[in-house]
């Protein structure tokens, strides 16, 4: 029970006791008054009877005496009258049955009033003529007391109601600063330090409010400092300060990640020789300005948001084009050359730009050494053939050419023919508790398996990923509802779905229909959506949270933006980018991992590392503030238990 309810209950109880005491005293006083009044009326009545009967008794007129008695007592609240004549020893008795219909019978059976009888000898001088006796009936007293009781009860009820409301209002107002403190402490427990408490009118609580505000501000400042420290460490290791792009270390990390995930797409090395000349001839300021100009133009004009653009050294840029088709890769390479010619001020795009671009299109698994060797060969090819806009090397393996529309039709067929296969990869804590299972999809047809990386990129380019996300969600809902899946499942949402209002409405309706199982669904949203499309992402996150489901950030820390966005969105978990969870033998890498993870943990957000391959990696990650682990090693470990 809350303090407010306790205070109201106890104060109401004390007030009720006081009111009951007043009620009992008033009731008892009314009863005593009516009883005394009844006794007084009996005395007055018997005196009146004696005076009225005396003349008739002297004349021994019995008939007249009876007439007087009838006249005085008919219709009165007396139960009996007896007149005894001394001269003849005759008695005149009158009995009057009295019934009070306006008083409940149970009330009269409480015997609150005694029957009063009074007798008196009627005399004439020294001569005793007769004796008269009157017996009262308490019906009138009961009627008066019952009416008084009703009035007291109504007054009592009104006063109790008004008193209770007044007590509740006064206590609530007095405790309003305390209620604000409770709300604030809940916010602090949820790592929300934004709003300060107003000054209370209660002087005793001023010090408490000031202390809480000060504590909240210090914690918020601590989080901001931690986030800025993590950003500085990340930028120092992975960011080129001149161009604002990733540096060589970042390029190698993303290249390793891309080759491990899909390997399909393109890699390009762009050696811009005229930048070195500007550095030599015009100085560092002019050279840096040219680098920034070229970097901004390339970032603004590259074909897709998932293209990774880096500056490898002073005059060389590296590009990674995940899941791009060969013809689109060639078009992107041509655009890079044209944009660079714009920087040189050649509107005809015909003058040589003193730069070489080597491009590799790849579809098979390769190591970083192999892919970089091909890129160097393509760069050499561009250098030896200056008449060519760029050097191009395609994957030597034979590959089936399938356009975007063909992939779309293939996915439609797979949905209709139930060709999709779903696998669940566990994410667990160090002690083996399952946090969730991430859903991975693939198409199996004619004994051939097509991974998600092969068709999702085509769907994204056609803006058709939303219906695929809906298909996956519906499938998982069916399996959870049937009991086939009993643990939380994580479903990746595409950026197209995040900013699609119709998808948000559909998800709202779907989760409402399945509210009982909604807590078993985790939705993973790319970090780029939180940074580039804040409003739509916030709407989707509110829908997910209000339904009872959870959401997390995928590739956390990949974008060179402020990490403080997680303070605004408060995801349930973040999945660290692979850039921070590999090469842990490097002390700088471990320090950055610990700092990035601590930034999330300071807000009570669970941190997840993916692609955990062995126990040594798991132990190192656990030592550096990682809470949950996911990868083939985790699946093998669980299956072996």
pLDDT tens-place string over residues 74-97 = 766 677 888 888 777 788 888 777
| pLDDT, mean of residues 503-507 | 94
| Separation of alpha carbons 152 and 157, rounded Å | 8
444 with 371, same domain? no
- Cα 73 from chain centre: 81
Instruction: Answer whether residue 486 is part of any domain.
Output: yes
| pLDDT, mean of residues 447-464 | 79
* Of 249, 230, 229, nearest in space to 239 by CA: 249
Whole-number Cα distances in Å, 206 to 7, 171, 197, 209, 212: 21, 18, 10, 5, 10
490 with 601, same domain? yes
Q: What is the pLDDT of residue 364?
A: 82
Whether pLDDT at 637 is above 60:
no
Domain boundary among 162, 185, 217: 162
Instruction: Answer whether residue 220 is part of any domain.
Output: no
Instruction: Answer whether residue 564 is part of any domain.
Output: yes
Whether pLDDT at 519 is above 90:
yes
Instruction: Identify the CATH number of the domain in which residue 158 sits.
Output: 3.30.450
Q: What is the pLDDT of residue 349?
A: 47
Query: What does the block give as tokens for 263?
Result: 């390997």
Query: What does the block give as tokens for 626?
Result: 């990682």
Domain count within the chain: 3
Q: How confident is the model at residue 640 (pLDDT cuts 50, 70, 90)?
A: very low
Whether pLDDT at 511 is above 60:
yes
| pLDDT, mean of residues 609-622 | 84
| Separation of alpha carbons 146 and 150, rounded Å | 6
**Looking at the DSSP assignment, which residues form a beta bridge with residue 607?**
574
Q: How confident is the model at residue 317 (pLDDT cuts 50, 70, 90)?
A: very high
Q: How confident is the model at residue 633 (pLDDT cuts 50, 70, 90)?
A: low
Instruction: Give the H or E element holding residue 139.
Output: helix 139-189
Supply the DSSP string of 540-568, one letter for each residue: HHHHHHHHT-EEEEEEET-SSS-TTHHHH
**How many CA atoms does the CB half-sphere of 124 hold within 13 Å?**
12
| Domain membership of residue 582 as a residue range | 404-640
Lowest mean pLDDT among 161-175, 192-206, 217-231, 486-500: 192-206
Please, what is the average pLDDT of the chain? 83
Sign of CA dihedral 27, 28, 29, 30: positive
| pLDDT, mean of residues 225-237 | 77
Lowest mean pLDDT among 9-13, 165-169, 348-352, 494-498: 348-352
| Separation of alpha carbons 427 and 608, rounded Å | 8
Query: What does the block give as tokens for 97?
Result: 């049955």
Strand order in the sheet with 127-136: 91-95, 78-85, 127-136, 117-124
Q: How confident is the model at residue 98 (pLDDT cuts 50, 70, 90)?
A: low
493 with 592, same domain? yes
Q: What is the pLDDT of residue 510?
A: 94
Listed in sequence order, the DSSP H helices in 417-483 are 452-461, 465-481
Q: Please state the pTM of the whole predicted model.
A: 0.66
| pLDDT, mean of residues 278-289 | 87
Q: How confident is the model at residue 498 (pLDDT cuts 50, 70, 90)?
A: very high
Q: What is the pLDDT of residue 478?
A: 94
Whether pLDDT at 256 is above 60:
yes
521 with 429, same domain? yes
Instruction: Answer whether residue 193 is part of any domain.
Output: no
| Separation of alpha carbons 335 and 298, rounded Å | 9
Instruction: Give the H or E element holding residue 136.
Output: strand 127-136
259 with 134, same domain? no
419 with 316, same domain? no
320 with 343, same domain? yes
Instruction: Identify the CATH number of the domain in which residue 516 sits.
Output: 3.20.20.450
Instruction: Answer whether residue 54 is part of any domain.
Output: yes
Whether pLDDT at 276 is above 70:
yes
Q: What is the pLDDT of residue 399?
A: 47
* Of 530, 599, 593, nearest in space to 561 by CA: 530
Whole-number Cα distances in Å, 467 to 403, 408, 457, 496, 543: 19, 11, 14, 10, 18
495 with 635, same domain? yes
608 with 460, same domain? yes
* Of 112, 106, 164, 120, nearest in space to 138 by CA: 112
Q: How confident is the model at residue 603 (pLDDT cuts 50, 70, 90)?
A: confident
Domain boundary among 364, 394, 424: 394
Enumerate helices (H) and strands (E) in the chain, giving the number of each. 22, 18
Whole-number Cα distances in Å, 94 to 90, 133, 510, 632: 13, 11, 88, 110
Q: What is the pLDDT of residue 639?
A: 45
* Of 471, 460, 557, 455, nearest in space to 507 by CA: 471
Query: For 18-39, b where at least 16 C-beta lie within 10 A, e where not — what string?
Result: ebeeebeebbeebbeebbeebe
| Separation of alpha carbons 235 and 526, rounded Å | 20
Whether pLDDT at 71 is above 90:
no
| pLDDT, mean of residues 166-175 | 83
Which residues make Cβ contacts (< 8 Å) with residue 429, sequence separation at least 6? Answer: 435, 627, 628, 629
Q: What is the pLDDT of residue 129?
A: 80
516 with 411, same domain? yes
Which residues make Cβ contacts (< 8 Å) with residue 468, sequence separation at least 6? Answer: 411, 456, 459, 494
Domain boundary among 394, 415, 435: 394
Q: How confident is the model at residue 484 (pLDDT cuts 50, 70, 90)?
A: very high
Instruction: Answer whether residue 167 is part of any domain.
Output: no
Instruction: Answer whether residue 232 is part of any domain.
Output: no
329 with 437, same domain? no
Q: How confident is the model at residue 107 (pLDDT cuts 50, 70, 90)?
A: confident
Interstrand relation of 316-322 and 550-556 (parallel, antiparallel or unpaired): unpaired
* Better pLDDT: 144 or 469: 469
Whether pLDDT at 584 is above 80:
no
Instruction: Identify the CATH number of the domain in which residue 378 sits.
Output: 3.30.70.270
255 with 371, same domain? yes
Q: Are 596 and 557 in contact (CB under 8 A)?
A: yes
Instruction: Answer whether residue 223 is part of any domain.
Output: no
The 10s digit of each residue's pLDDT in 526-550 is: 998 898 888 999 999 999 999 999 9
| Separation of alpha carbons 498 and 437, rounded Å | 21
| pLDDT, mean of residues 497-514 | 93
Q: What percent of the chain has pLDDT over 90?
A: 20
| pLDDT, mean of residues 153-170 | 89
- Cα 317 from chain centre: 44
Q: Are 411 and 470 in contact (CB under 8 A)?
A: no
Q: How confident is the model at residue 201 (pLDDT cuts 50, 70, 90)?
A: low
């Amino acid at each position: 029970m809350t303090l407010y309810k306790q205070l109201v209950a106890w104060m109401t109880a004390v007030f009720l006791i006081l009111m009951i005491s007043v009620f009992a005293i008033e009731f008892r006083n009314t009863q005593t008054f009516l009883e005394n009044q009844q006794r007084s009326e009996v005395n007055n009545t018997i005196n009146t009877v004696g005076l009225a009967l005396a003349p008739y008794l002297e004349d021994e007129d019995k008939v007249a005496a009876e007439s007087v008695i009838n006249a005085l007592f008919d219709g009165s609240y007396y139960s009996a009258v007896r007149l005894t004549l001394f001269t003849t020893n005759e008695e005149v008795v009158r009995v009057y049955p009295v019934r009070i219909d306006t008083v409940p019978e149970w009330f009269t059976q409480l015997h609150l009033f005694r029957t009063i009888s009074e007798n008196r000898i009627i005399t004439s001088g020294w001569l005793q003529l007769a004796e008269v006796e009157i017996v009262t009936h308490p019906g009138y007293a009961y009627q008066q007391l019952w009416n008084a009781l009703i009035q007291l009860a109504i007054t009592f009820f009104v006063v109790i109601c008004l008193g209770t409301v007044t007590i509740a209002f006064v206590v609530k107002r007095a405790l309003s600063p305390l209620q604000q403190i409770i709300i604030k402490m809940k916010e602090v427990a949820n790592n929300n330090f934004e709003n300060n408490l107003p000054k209370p009118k209660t002087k005793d609580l001023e010090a408490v409010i000031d202390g809480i505000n000060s504590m909240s501000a210090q914690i918020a400042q601590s989080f901001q400092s931690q986030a800025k420290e993590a950003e500085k460490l990340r930028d120092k290791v992975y960011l080129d300060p001149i161009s604002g792009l990733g540096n060589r270390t970042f390029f190698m990390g993303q290249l390793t990640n891309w080759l491990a995930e899909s390997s399909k797409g393109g890699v390009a090395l762009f050696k811009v020789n005229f930048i070195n000349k500007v550095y030599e001839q015009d100085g560092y300021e002019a050279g840096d300005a040219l680098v920034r100009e070229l970097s901004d133009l390339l970032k603004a004009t590259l074909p897709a948001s998932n293209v990774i653009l880096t500056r490898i050294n002073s005059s060389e840029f590296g590009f990674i084009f995940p899941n791009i088709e060969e013809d689109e890769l060639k078009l992107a390479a041509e655009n890079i050359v044209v944009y660079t010619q714009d920087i040189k001020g050649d509107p005809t795009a015909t003058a040589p730009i003193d730069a070489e671009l080597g491009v590799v299109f790849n579809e098979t698994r390769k190591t970083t050494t192999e892919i970089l060797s091909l890129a160097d060969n393509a760069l050499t090819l561009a250098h030896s053939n200056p008449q060519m806009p760029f050097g191009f090397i395609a994957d030597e393996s034979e590959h089936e050419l399938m356009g975007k529309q063909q992939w779309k039709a293939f996915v439609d067929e797979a949905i209709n023919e139930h060709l999709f296969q779903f696998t669940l990869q566990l994410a667990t804590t160090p002690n083996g508790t399952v946090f969730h299972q991430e859903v991975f999809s693939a198409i199996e047809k004619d004994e051939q398996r097509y991974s998600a990386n092969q068709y999702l990129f085509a769907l994204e380019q056609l803006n058709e990923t939303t219906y695929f996300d809906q298909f996956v969600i519906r499938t998982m809902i069916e399996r959870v509802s049937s009991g086939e899946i009993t643990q939380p499942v994580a479903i990746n949402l595409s950026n197209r779905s995040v900013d699609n209002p119709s998808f948000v409405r559909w998800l709202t309706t779907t989760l409402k229909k399945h509210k009982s199982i909604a807590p078993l669904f985790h939705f993973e949203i790319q970090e780029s959506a939180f940074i580039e499309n804040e409003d739509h992402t916030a709407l989707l996150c509110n829908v997910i949270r209000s339904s009872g489901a959870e959401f997390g950030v995928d590739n956390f820390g990949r974008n060179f933006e402020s990490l403080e966005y997680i303070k605004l969105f408060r995801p349930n978990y973040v999945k660290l980018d692979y850039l921070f969870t590999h090469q842990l033998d490097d002390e700088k890498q471990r320090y950055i991992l610990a700092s990035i993870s601590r930034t999330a943990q300071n807000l009570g957000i669970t941190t997840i590392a993916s692609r955990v391959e062995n126990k040594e990696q798991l132990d190192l990650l656990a030592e550096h503030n990682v809470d949950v682990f996911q990868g083939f090693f985790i699946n093998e470990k669980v299956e072996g238990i």
